[in-house]
Amino acid sequence: MYIAIAGNIGSGKTTLTEMLTERYGAKAYLENIDNPYLGDFYEDMRRWSFHLQTRFLASRIEQTMAMLADKSQHMIIQDRTIYEDAHIFAGNLHEMGLMSSRDIETYMQIFQLVTNLVQKPDLLIYLKASVPTLVRQIHKRGRDYEMNIDEAYLERLNKKYNQWIGELYGGPVLVVDKDTEDFVEDPAVFERICAELDKLDVQKRLF
């Protein structure tokens, strides 16, 4: 069973991945943020945005193909998906004028070729959170490189996420509203998520 967790920066994807991995003895596939273009990108975003996002896409393709080829696991859980790389982050860079139309078209052509060859998650868990909630969680975890993230940037990403989930994705989605449903502080929320996974597992075994 292939479970993917999606959400904005600071929404709690890795925390939920770890909790579900422990609960189900699943194998986790975490986001790889190692990218040799990252430093260049922050120096000149317009010049290096295509290189940065293409490298992230290549890493995500490699991870997704290896993950889906692994038949030894009953459940696999992916922290952030290949769809977010394209529809959220690359798309946002284009809208901000930091990736040219020619580059985004080339990028999306590669993305479409790959996603036609891989299955969608059996369930996508979308951690939806308002900007104040994201900022509070970002400050709580205290990563230095995240301390100065612009709130307007987080809001732009939220809009992209909501558009993607509402209009583009087209697969099974479980929405967890992090403003009111804290699966760390409230065990009942975590149990509700697990109940959905248990139900899905039964359905897959029957059919």
Report the catalytic residues. 85
Helix H, strand E, coil C: the string for 133-201 is HHHHHHHHHCCHHHCCCCHHHHHHHHHHHHHHHHHHCCCCEEEEECCCCCCCCCHHHHHHHHHHHHHHH
Q: How far apart are CA 187 and CA 149, in angstroms?
A: 30
For 207, the 3-state DSSP assignment is: coil
Identify the bridge partners of residue 126 per DSSP, sorted by sequence position. 6, 175
Lookup: tokens for 119: 């299955």
